[in-house]
A and B are shown apart, each in its own frame.
Chain A
């Protein structure tokens, strides 16, 4: 790149800067995203507006292109990493300013499964959409899920499995929730390469999510329904 191609973020007006941040997120440029967030803060943007308009806006494009088979895992991981840089600056400020809460998710791969690439992507994309994510990591037993849900009080439980040998364990977890009479307290989303919609239904999940972008869309949709039913109850 020649020098005249250099972009000085601070010289862009707000609209141009947000557009540039969309592209920088797409290209996974963490330092540039951090710089952009700081500039918007200096310009007295509300932290919540930076999150939703710049970061979530940019990650929505990344998510859509991932869903459509334009971007793949490596690019999405880089984009999510760039977003994390921006979120690290915003997170304390969001708490301070009492920004609205989008929702909370507890997520983990099921017992026996260490394949956490998809789970990590979902976690990152959910954070990219403004959700609070509690990541239980890999190899979770029923007890581990229950304990975390008791402690964290999430809206959503996300389970992931990548192997034929581990996917049935999701049903074990859901059956336990039913036994304990708490199944309907949570939105249960499942995902993983060998799964499909029919499988998700058969084991009693609320939805199967084909990929991380769909997980975000589905989570938002179900959170909306939850709010609606709470309002009418």
Chain B
């Protein structure tokens, strides 16, 4: 299948994605607890400015301000009836910025998690989840997004539901999960497990990968896990710019532009071809990442030791793919069916 995303990836080999949304909006005055999506209509000039940060820093694609634009999350702000509108406007504003960039830049329509746990453990049904994702995807498509971009997902069921939602909307998509718990997603999925999940879908994404989580080192380990499993689809790497710290009333991520530049080339060497940042990644980080990717050639994949040494320590010893993860103590009772 060919679309604007696959064409640009084929042409450039490696794409630079964007950085943080929340961190940048805070710096523009978003208050804690407010829904960033409401700014699409209330403060459109600030959202346009956010998008320009990415474009002006050299990004080949950037995400729309629609991460929380689903019925479940907007309900909190009594805006559940505005899912389609806020998604559409987020993409329309983005379209305008992309089309006046002076080079080819793609609009990726961000789709975040519902925030609910799906059946059978939780209460959200598959059908309802599909409907929510479908609604957001429809809005993004109507606003002119080149591609849908699922991110920060923990549960395989939710990833599957989103795949169906994108199919119903007729919007090609990419999808990343967040590996933040001992190298796995919160629901326990390993990097290997995600490769199986993604390649087994009816509506396969254009690319898959990891975003957010716990710092850039862990993210690189996850990318190595994807590559080792040997999937056929392109890999996305969007790591946080270090670890969040509270400095003078603001959240500050401690990763420097130099660190993120090194992270970017290591992600490429590890096997990722769409590389960006997540929380804490500011324009200056993106500029350094662009420069690093453009000025170096792809090298051999880094070892875990190199990653720990250059980027920082991992949050857990094992990520569940090396057979060295912790296991439970022997049972004393008898297992039953």
Contacts and interface: CB of A to CB of B under 8 A. Distances in A.
Contact of B337 (A1, A78, A111): A1
Contacts of A70: 325-328
Interface in A156-187: 163-169, 171-172
Name the 10 nearest CB pairs between A and B, nearest first: A72-B188, A69-B182, A112-B33, A1-B337, A111-B33, A202-B246, A20-B333, A23-B333, A164-B22, A168-B32
A110 B33 contact: yes
Interface in B210-267: 214, 243-247, 249-251
Interface stretch (A82-90, A93-101, A188-196, A218-226): A188-196
Given A110-B33, A164-B23, A115 B121 contact: no
B203 interface: no
A10 interface: no
Nearest to A139: B76
A196 B334 contact: no
Contact of B76 (A29, A74, A138): A138
The A interface, classified by DSSP as helix, strand, loop or mixed, is: loop
A134 interface: no
B197 interface: no
Interface residues of A, number: 55
Nearest to B240: A194
Interface of A: 1, 5-7, 16, 19-24, 26-27, 29, 32, 61, 65, 68-75, 77-78, 110-117, 138-139, 163-169, 171-172, 193-196, 198-199, 202-203, 211
A168 B30 CA distance: 12
A69 B32 contact: no
Interface residues on B, range: 35 or more
B335 A27 contact: yes
Interface string B62-76: 000000000011011
Given A23-B335, A75-B188, A199-B246, 12 more contacts: A21-B333, A26-B328, A69-B182, A70-B328, A74-B121, A74-B188, A112-B76, A115-B115, A117-B117, A164-B280, A168-B250, A202-B247
Contacts of B72: 114
B168 interface: no
Interface string B21-34: 01101100010111
Given A114-B72, A138-B76, A166-B32, A198 B245 contact: yes
B279 interface: yes
B277 to A, nearest CB: 13
The B interface, classified by DSSP as helix, strand, loop or mixed, is: loop
B278 to A, nearest CB: 9
Interface in B141-190: 154, 180-184, 186-188
A7 B279 contact: no
B34 A112 contact: yes
Contact of B244 (A74, A111, A195): A195
B103 interface: no
A23 B329 CA distance: 11
A182 B335 CA distance: 50
B20 interface: yes
A16 B331 CA distance: 12
Contacts of B327: 70
A164 B331 contact: no
B205 interface: no
A138 to B, nearest CB: 7
A211 B245 CA distance: 19
24 contacts: A5-B336, A7-B334, A23-B334, A24-B336, A29-B336, A32-B336, A65-B326, A69-B326, A71-B328, A72-B181, A72-B186, A72-B188, A73-B181, A73-B187, A111-B33, A112-B33, A114-B115, A117-B115, A163-B22, A164-B280, A165-B30, A168-B246, A168-B251, A171-B246
